Structure 1
Amino acid sequence: MAYTQSLAQVKDRLQIHSILARQCLAEFLGVFVLTLLIQGTLAQAVTSGGTKGNFFIMFLASSLGVRLAIYISGNVSGAHLNPAFSLVMCLLGCLPWVKFPIYSLVQLLSAFCASGAVYALYHDALQNYTGGNLTVTGPKETASIFVTYPAPYLSLSNGFLDQVLGTWMLTVGILAILDARNKGVPARVEPVVVGLLILAIRLSMGASCGFPINPAWDLDPRLFTYMAGWGPEVFSAGNGWW
């Protein structure tokens, strides 16, 4: 009896009682898992010269990653996983504005940490594939593992349209899935349907920019590659494995 009480006391002391802290932890874990799976799939494909992955496999991994991330964080933070979506939730009155910078910062920090984890996991593969020469362009470039780059032919205006339309499709799709006034999605199946939405958007809009509609997937991973040895070109290069 005393042992059970002691365990209960330890559990109570270790439990995070702050709702905001739990929400931040949920967002961190969700973005971390999502980024880890997406970048891990890319790392496997790139460092194997395309023999252990292709575009469809990468798109499928992102779909499954979103699904898992929602299951991890959905009931705690709402599984925003994206500063752009957090902004939409604020505009719709579903998230207090005071939480927007906090959610965004946590999401960005998580993506940075996940990039570091992928780099550590595939360090030897990267060294073997590149011979230790980490580049952003060229036949052995590896920066696109962590960050998406526009195709060489893409203009600024077309890239802007690509991102606006992709983000719009993602937001409208998620809101439609979650709207109880629509036909509705069976309980606990929403993450699966959102994952399929991601897959559909990536298959139809992923060629020009690589689908970087989440600032958390782009800004901090780009900063990580700059710090990890790819250099300042990560902020200016216009092509990659995509």
Structure 2
Amino acid sequence: MMKLRLLRVRNALVRECMAEFLGTFVLLLFGCSAAAQVKTSRETKGQFLSVNMAFSVGVMSAMYLTKGITGAHLNPAVTLSFCVLGRVPWRKLMPYSLSQVLGAYVASGLVYLVYYDAIMEFSEGVLTVYGPNETASIFATYPTEHLTLGRSFLDQVVGTGMLLLCILCLDEKRNSPAPSELTPPIVATIVLGISMSMSGNCGAAINPARDLGPRLFSLTAGWGTEVFTCYNYWFWVPVVAPPIGGVLGCLMYLVFIHWQLPGPDPPEDTSTLSTISDKIKQPSSTWENEVELKCAHL
């Protein structure tokens, strides 16, 4: 056991990147596995709601795993928003984001291996983005055919904005903070609500790593460049729109809630302040005598 403890990484940033990698890996493993099961079974072993719930369970599990190390961002849009708010140093934005994308990529690879036979049987060996036997949507998100580029961009901005708006209040002590141990299931429920209400247009990625990592995997696994060129090069929307939405959600929270709450909390330990207050209320001669007496003992 002592030898295993030598595996502890000494560099704090590396430890944090490892946590973000593993957390995003778990999130995508749950979500993409559910998508593969539903797709390849032609919805006989689950439905669209199953995928939404699996991603939410993935969020909860990943948060419990990594919350004590990084706070469990699992999303470059969340990391960027926390950098804007001053909660995370800007120097950590790129390492966190790359770790999240890599975790999503590796998770997609594992899902592909687990469901390889089912994917090949369903697609008849032809890996494509279009058609009734397409399987690219198991991994990355794609818009519905009637959706315009501008509307899909708005969709992702709104979804990610709602995510940040709703999670920022969870640790606000001047409002109604959630117990720390219950934060993961609450965040998972918020993600489930967004997925159930805002995923009809283009899958509710609301997370650049969740979309880009699996899309890069599908590019290298046989689906080809079509995963980037399809739908008028739509791939950039779930990469660019969520960070913008996250920052806008933070701004809404600051303007409408944070800056409107009552003043800062009183100190948790008020005994010292109470003692000083009592001393001030005493007659000056008594207080001076006590001070002189204490000084004499020094």
- What TM-score bracket applies, with the shorter chain setting the length? over 0.9
Q: Which residue of 2 is the match for residue 193 of structure 1?
A: 186
Report whether the alignment pairs 1:207 with 2:224: no
Does 2:170 correspond to 1:156?
A: no
Correspondence for 2:11 among 18, 41, 49: 18
Residue deviations 1:181-236 (CA, integer Å, cap 9, x gap):
22121230000100000011111111001001100011121111111111111113
Aligned-residue sequence identity (percent) comes to 48
Q: How does 1:1-242 map to 2 (within 5 A)?
A: 7-8=1-2, 10-238=3-231
Give yes or no for contact 1:150–1:210 (8 Å, CA) kept in 2. yes
Q: Which has the higher contact order (CA 8 A, sep 6+)?
A: 1
Question: What amino acid is the match of 2:137?
Answer: S
Q: Distance in 2 between matches of 1:187 and 1:228?
A: 40
Aligned to 1:3: none
Measured after TM superposition, the shift of residue 17 of structure 1 is: 2.1
| SS of residue in 2 equivalent to 1:23 | helix
Matching residue's letter, 1:39: C
- 1:38–1:61 Cα contact (<8 Å) kept: yes
Q: With structure 2 as the length reference, what TM-score do the two structures score?
A: 0.76
Where in structure 1 are there 5+ consecutive unaligned residues?
1-6
**Do the aligned partners of residues 59 and 12 (structure 1) sit closer, same or farther apart at CA in structure 2, a change above 3 Å counting?**
closer
Larger Rg computed on CA atoms: 2
Equivalent residue number for residue 4 of structure 1 = none
Gap regions ≥5 residues in structure 2: 233-298
SS of corresponding position for 2:154: helix
Higher mean displacement: 171-180 or 38-47 = 171-180
Q: Post-superposition shift, 1:11? A: 3.5
| TM superposition shift of 1:12 | 3.7
Distance in 2 between the 1:183 and 1:102 partners?
Answer: 33
**TM-score, normalization: structure 1?**
0.93
